[in-house]
Amino acid sequence: MLSTVILVAAMMVGVAMLFCLWRLIKGPDITDRILALDTLYINSIALIILLGLFHGSALYFEGALLIAMLGFVSTAALAKYLLRGDIIE
Amino acid sequence: MNNLLAYSDYLVAFLVLTGALFMMIGSWGLVKLPDFFTRLHAPTKASTLGMGATLLGSLIWFSLSDGSLRIHELVISLFLFLTAPVSAYMMGKAALHRNRPVIERTQDKELAARAARQEGISK
Amino acid sequence: MKRLLPMPWHSVMLLLVWLLLNGFSYGHLFLGAFLAWLIPVLTYTYVRGHPPVKRPLKMLVYILRLLKDIVVANVDVARRVLMPNRLLQPGWLAYPLSLSEAFPATVLASSVSLTPGTVSVEFSSDRSCLYIHVLHLEDAEALTGFIRQRYEQPLKEIFGC
């Protein structure tokens, strides 16, 4: 039962990622694209955790941790670049 | 113990589905909400709860099947709960200084310009 | 002493988390202890001090209540996302801060971002005012009062400022 539920949940997260992709392509501004990327990485963490549950393996968590850290740093860097490189100075 | 495991399956299934549902709603908000600042709400909130529920499900499942408490999930969710407001703040600030338009009926629209100039409370 | 072990509590925390993540063995104890010593020594110059927590018990209560509020706020935001856009009434709010120090104000801004349909977007440069975007603003006065008594007052007591 649980593996079916996990597959359904993974499908839902996949749909969520498609929504993010739509926003990423459509824009209209770069800030929207950064927001879409931010949401996309959070969704991908969920997908990895579901995969770990599906295979019953705890090894995927290192990957999830790495994505969480790199995702946050890249969001912060992109937002900072917009603020510093373009507008303030 | 076997009974507990059987029930925990339902609990894990419920948590995982709830989490996925919230993530889907959050991303749907990203598509349908009318301007950038309203769009900022959906992922920062709904995705936080979605991740929280998914991670809790995984925590329960792995803890019961290993027989010992795991904290990997707790570390990830703590990290996400700490970083979500920070990245929302930074993206909001970037959007504010780029003068992103807001929809017509937003209340107190002139406050956005004041916020972009970092003005204090005017007397 | 200050040079060798600049942030003792951070070191203990680091070692503890390292052992919990990797499982206990003497090798990990050694490596973890080394990292717990090295990381604070390398980073302590970047860390600006924050006011000490005066009321740890209150902080625990605050965190638990925050967790509950996160769940409630998330369900609320999800409901508003699913409603048609024309029912939405977004708005800006200038929240007059009475916390003066940087760290408590950051905690307040983060709490506001995580909870009731609000995202804090900018501080004023004199830190007297927090600009908040609200997804559905009905009564600005009421929301200001809610944030003040639910989050700001407890934070003031916790940090004693």
User: What b-and-e string marks burial along C127-158, b requiring 16 or more CB atoms within 10 Å of the CB?
Assistant: eebbbbbbbbbeebeebbeebbebbbebbeeb
Q: Residue B50: pLDDT above 80?
A: yes
Q: Are residues C67 and C133 in the same domain?
A: yes
Residues C97 and C27 both lie in one domain: no
**Would B123 be classed as within a structural domain?**
no
Domain that holds residue B62: 2-116
- The domain ranges of chain A are 2-88
Q: Looking at the domain assignment, is residue B28 inside a domain?
A: yes
Classify residue C124: in a domain, yes or no: yes
In 10 A of CB A69, how many CB atoms?
A: 13
Q: Residue C11's pLDDT is what?
A: 84
Do C131 and C154 lie in one domain? The reply is yes
Asked if the A2-88 domain carries CATH number 3.40.720, the reply is no
Q: Please tell me the total count of domains within chain C.
A: 2
One domain, residues C149 and C73: yes
Mutate to test the interface with C, among B45, B83, B106 (most CBs of C within 10 A): B45
CB B43 within 8 A of CB A42: yes
Q: Which of C48, C50, C54 is nearest to C156 (CA)?
A: C54
- Average pLDDT over chain A reads 85
Task: Check pLDDT > 50 for residue A87.
Answer: no
Distance of alpha carbon C36 from alpha carbon C18, whole angstroms: 9
Predicted ipTM beyond 0.90: no
Look at residue B121 and tell me if it is in a domain: no
Residue B122 belongs to some domain of the structure: no
| Closest in C70, C73, C81 to B42, CB measured | C81
Q: Is residue C69 assigned to a domain?
A: yes
Q: Which domain holds residue C110?
A: 56-159
Is A45:A64 a contact under the CB 8 Å cutoff?
yes
Give whichever of A8-12, C26-30, C106-110 has the largest mean pLDDT: A8-12
Partner-chain contact A75 B72, CB within 8 Å: no
Judged by CB atoms closer than 8 Å, whether chains meet at B102 and C123 is answered as no
Q: How many distinct structural domains can be found in chain B?
A: 1
* Closest-CA distance of chain B to residue A46, Å: 6
C122 and C70 assigned to the same domain: yes
Q: Please tell me whether residues C79 and C120 are part of one structural domain.
A: yes
C62 and C118 both lie in a single domain = yes
> Chain B residue closest to C108 (CA)?
B85
Does residue B15 register a pLDDT over 80?
yes
Residue C68 lies in a domain: yes
Partner-chain residue, chosen from B49, B71, B105, that has the shortest CB–CB distance to C20: B71
Q: Is the pLDDT of residue A89 over 60?
A: no
Q: Does B108 reside within a domain?
A: yes
Whether the predicted model's global pTM rises above the 0.95 cut: no
